[in-house]
Amino acid sequence: MSKFITMAHGNGGFAMQQLIQDYFVEAFANSILAQGEDQARIPLDFLAQQGEMLSFSTDSFVIDPIFFPGGDIGKLAVCGTANDVAVCGAIPQYLSCGFILEEGLPLAELKQIIQSMAQTAHEAGIQIVTGDTKIVQKGAVDKIFINTSGLGVIPKGIDWGIHQIQSGDKIIVSGTIGDHGATMLNLRENLGIQTALKSDCAVLYPLIARLRELDGVKAVRDATRGGVNAVLHEFAQAQQLGVTIDEQALPIRQEVRGICELLGLDALNFANEGKLVIVAAAEKTSEILTALRAHPLGENAAVIGEMTGDRKVRITGIFGQSRLLDLPTNEPLPRIC
């Protein structure tokens, strides 16, 4: 077998079958995948025992570079979709994966990415049950793109979503913001900042499981591309409301602050891959905050602001001055996920 991906790995024939068997089926080992069919077959009564609604989500990953401090495109592809499935309160359980590979990709890199996916999924109790692999000629894709789609079940009685949001609700972030974006920026722009900073890439289900046991959670999103800022705007627009954020309350690592100051960027716009933004009923906020902080994934959780009635997204600075927080109109950080 060649040490690199060749066009023959995508022809539906022998090399492709061998790649799928030796790389994917072996690493993702589970009884559904092992059936070797064109689709995963999942018992509906098993799902229906857990709740009333199926959660179904998809994400494609095009991050550059594909290996970075704290993770790689494989880990990211599992975490990203697992989190999108889970932020409605669902337990993420099944993933599909679709690989698009560039001719010439070293098989050793592919193997590392697959192992990373397998390990991340295994640790989170998620099975990768169906997949697809396409090979394109050199230059038609940059190394490797991965799509994952995921399934989970929302337990009975959980109805989180933007429709629940009201003026006066508090806004909580589950930890420091901008770690993933700042890590990628430092790596990619050769800023040369020596730092222990790494991507916060993580499956957030364990933290979400704690939230499910509490009252007062209204809406939850993971703040990925577009950062916390994009989520705040989504929350505001959905219910024709506004948001006020307290700049001093934002949990931001020193290294991330440094990178922001150096480049004149705002950590609120940086991608995260392991952080939740939670809208909570005001009277339940301290209970929710305590529960979050008791888990390693939420130890830096903080209340950062609240929903308001005036349809504006604002940030209040250290000296009490308030300014509008617009969405960026350009793209400061392409291929961040």
Stretch 74-93 residues interacting with a second copy (CB under 8 A): 84-85, 87-88, 90
Query: Which of 98, 151, 103 has its CA nearest to residue 2?
Result: 103
Query: Which of 199, 326, 207 has its CA nearest to residue 271?
Result: 199
One-letter identity of residue 126: I
Stretch 220-279 residues interacting with a second copy (CB under 8 A): 221-222, 224-227, 230, 233-234, 238, 271
Stretch 165-194 residues interacting with a second copy (CB under 8 A): none
In the numeric block, which tokens belong to residue 323? 């300014």
Report the residue from 22, 26, 137, 323 that binds a second copy according to the rule CB under 8 A.
137
| Window of 1-9, 108-116, 258-266, 284-292 that interacts with a second copy by CB under 8 A | 1-9
Using DSSP bridges, classify how beta strands 242-246 and 313-316 pair: parallel, antiparallel or unpaired.
parallel
| Residue 157 touching a second copy (CB under 8 A) | no
Q: How far is CA 209 from the centre of its chain?
A: 16
| Residue 142 touching a second copy (CB under 8 A) | yes
CB 112 within 8 A of CB 144: no
- Per-residue DSSP letter, 20: I
Distance CA 252, CA 162 (A): 26
Report the residue from 7, 29, 262, 294 that binds a second copy according to the rule CB under 8 A.
7
Residue with tokens 């392991």: 274
Stretch 291-330 residues interacting with a second copy (CB under 8 A): 327-330
Distance CA 218, CA 228 (A): 17
Q: Between 238 and 294, name the residue whose CB sits nearer to a second copy.
A: 238
In sequence order, the β-bridge partners of residue 244 are: 306, 314
CB 107 within 8 A of CB 5: yes
In sequence order, the β-bridge partners of residue 98 are: 132, 147
Least gap, CB of 156 to a second copy (angstroms): 10
- Per-residue DSSP letter, 89: T
Q: Between 321 and 330, name the residue whose CB sits nearer to a second copy.
A: 330
Least gap, CB of 216 to a second copy (angstroms): 19
Least gap, CB of 315 to a second copy (angstroms): 16
Least gap, CB of 129 to a second copy (angstroms): 7
CB 102 within 8 A of CB 143: yes
| Window of 127-135, 168-176, 193-201, 295-303 that interacts with a second copy by CB under 8 A | 127-135
Report the residue from 5, 20, 113, 129 that binds a second copy according to the rule CB under 8 A.
129
Least gap, CB of 272 to a second copy (angstroms): 11
Evaluated on CA atoms 240, 327, 207, 306, the torsion sign reads negative
Least gap, CB of 103 to a second copy (angstroms): 9
Stretch 13-72 residues interacting with a second copy (CB under 8 A): 13-17, 35-45, 47-48, 51-62, 64
Q: Between 293 and 335, name the residue whose CB sits nearer to a second copy.
A: 335
Q: Which spans in 192-253 are helix H?
A: 205-212, 227-238
The torsion angle over the Cα atoms of residues 24, 112, 151 and 274, rounded to 10 degrees, is 180
Least gap, CB of 37 to a second copy (angstroms): 6
Mapped onto helix, strand or coil, the DSSP state of residue 102 is strand
What does each C-alpha distance from 335 to 21, 60, 106, 183, 191 come to in angstroms? 30, 11, 21, 13, 17
Q: Between 159 and 287, name the residue whose CB sits nearer to a second copy.
A: 159
Q: Between 167 and 237, name the residue whose CB sits nearer to a second copy.
A: 237
Report the residue from 155, 216, 258, 332 that binds a second copy according to the rule CB under 8 A.
332
Q: Between 233 and 293, name the residue whose CB sits nearer to a second copy.
A: 233
